[in-house]
Amino acid sequence: MKKILLAVTCGLLAVLLLTNAGAREFDSLLSLAGNYVEDSPLGVACVDSIRFVVYEPEPESFRYFVVSDDFVKLKGYKGYTSLGVLLDDKAEILDVWIVSSDDTRRIVNKIKHSGMLEQFRSTSKGKQIKHVTGATVTSQVICKTIGQMLPILESKAEAMREASAGMRDIHE
């Protein structure tokens, strides 16, 4: 009987710890998104291990903030660069930010201020992205990261929209 009670207690403790860890991850993503997106979020959702912050700027129109680390981690000149990406509900890019990077501050600032990240916006779709001279390796890694993320997000767009609609219904 003691062994059964101990096993049940350990199981409940494990569930509690995992739930708290998951909640912390969602809180962390929500906080990170708040640094870049001004709209008020509906909350955080997850589809097939893809975590995303949900926004509804207009009725029936969703936007999603995702972080590249959930998809791919490619090494740049000095290390890893993590991107924050804002998408519409068709998985078209609205904005891109460097949210963290192991590269030097000079390289990161060069990319941030070059206009390179703005080239990813949906209005630029299909255009060749110009890399930043003096930050070529990191520029290439950013392009590869976006290139690997987009097909995954496009394939999950409908599921993300359904999860977002369900979240909105809960808030109403």
- CA angle in degrees (0–180, nearest 5) for 53-20-69: 45
CA diameter of the chain: 69
Q: What is the C-alpha separation between 33 and 26, in angstroms, rounded?
A: 11
pLDDT values of the chain reduced to their tens digit, one per residue, 172 residues = 544 433 333 333 333 333 444 456 778 898 889 899 999 999 999 999 899 999 999 888 999 999 999 888 888 888 899 999 999 999 999 999 999 999 999 999 999 999 999 999 876 566 788 889 888 999 999 999 999 999 999 999 999 999 999 887 665 5
User: Measuring CA to CA, how many Å separate 111 from each of 7, 73, 90?
Assistant: 53, 18, 27
Write out the two tokens for 32: 């990170």
Q: Which of the 8 DSSP states describes residue 131?
A: P
Task: Indicate the pTM of the whole model.
Answer: 0.81
Q: What is the C-alpha separation between 96 and 147, in angstroms, rounded?
A: 13
At 49 the pLDDT is 87
At 27 the pLDDT is 83
At 24 the pLDDT is 65
At 127 the pLDDT is 74
